[in-house]
Amino acid sequence: MKRTTIWINEELLEEALKLTGARSKREVIEAGLRLLVRWHNKELLRKELGTFELDLSLEELEKLRNAQ
């Protein structure tokens, strides 16, 4: 863990605290960073896999999951 001093838009931080229900500024900042990393990793995976049409209903998808 490293201590860092940064300037953050206070209004944006307060809004994020209210929206997430985080108990501290640190908690909401870490949640935002985790979300950013997760989003970036999903984008990398999407680019790696490419795109394709998947025309399945939720029921069909559930059957496929249970069959494996």
Number of domains in the chain: 1
Q: Is the pLDDT of residue 6 over 90?
A: yes
The mean pLDDT of 39-68, rounded to a whole number, is: 84
Task: Report the chain's mean pLDDT, rounded to a whole number.
Answer: 90
Task: Please state the pTM of the whole predicted model.
Answer: 0.65
In a domain, 19, yes or no: yes
| 32 touches 16 (CB < 8 A) | yes
Range of the domain at 49: 10-67
In a domain, 3, yes or no: no
Both tokens assigned to 63: 């059957």
| 22 touches 33 (CB < 8 A) | no
Q: What is the pLDDT of residue 39?
A: 93
In a domain, 14, yes or no: yes
